[in-house]
Amino acid sequence: MNPVNLTLLSEHACFDGVQRFYQHDSREIGLPMRFSVYLPPQAASGPVPAVLYLAGLTCNEETFMVKAGAQARAAELGLALVAPDTSPRGAGVAGEAESWDFGVGAGFYLDATQAPWATHYRMESYIVAELLPLLAKALPLDGERFGIFGHSMGGHGALTLALRHPGLFKSLSAFAPICAPTQCAWGCKAFTGYLGAEESSWQRHDASVLMRQSAGVPYPDGILIDQGLSDKFLADQLNPALFEAACSAVGQPLTLRRQALYDHGYYFIATFMRDHLAHHAEALAGHA
């Protein structure tokens, strides 16, 4: 009997730990969902802290584990890695696969309120109310020590979920996040489709707005962001300076590293992955 309805799809030895891919029937999404987990060798002896990675547009639960080169460093640090899919699959919503930046592979880590998306496109509730409790129950993970990071759309997701659910995630970082989605084309398209035309509802999912509205300093240990200066989306879509200004306004420590020559892809992510995992390991150790 499987008490948490998890199906193990595949398992691979990796840096003395294990890389796994799972599927389960999601209560919040109403469809099967997939996620991946890397368990470091330390997990064989008891629960370990974990970092949740949210991938960007067009990606899925495999992208990070295959491309980011994170497992070796995670094994050294004793960190588990978790990557959910980026949207529901098979919802059957008309037009959901027509655009690369909306619908399938582009759930934007929020709960849609507009028909026909509201039934299945519930990524925020899926992650916060379902996936995290499931992970803590089914796997050797310390449910009190979760960090979160992500890339691009997933960087937006990491920043906004961390700020919308104070205390849930104990550490936070991002690669090239969409920092002010209410002010870029990707965000406006997604928010119009998922949330409707009323822009006041959009602000609840904009990291720069949320940071300015935060009570106190959400992450006194600091937030780490890396942004490539050769990123073709930097000027029109990402707006890191707006998040930087919001952090400054409330006294939130932020390390925003602008990296010359680097673009938006996984070569960039892999280059700075060790730094991000070390950032999370240090912060999570402080919550032991």
User: Which residues does the annotation mark as catalytic?
Assistant: 152, 231, 264
C-alpha to C-alpha distance for 35 and 88, rounded to whole angstroms = 12
The SS3 of residue 21 is strand
C-alpha to C-alpha distance for 105 and 29, rounded to whole angstroms = 14
CB 204 within 8 A of CB 228: no
Instruction: For residue 288, count other CB atoms closer than 10 A to its CB.
Output: 8
Region at 90 (left for phi over 0; alpha for psi -120 to 50; beta for the rest): left
> Which residues lie closer than 8 Å to 94 by C-beta, 6 or more apart?
116
Amino acid at 142: D
CB 87 within 8 A of CB 107: yes
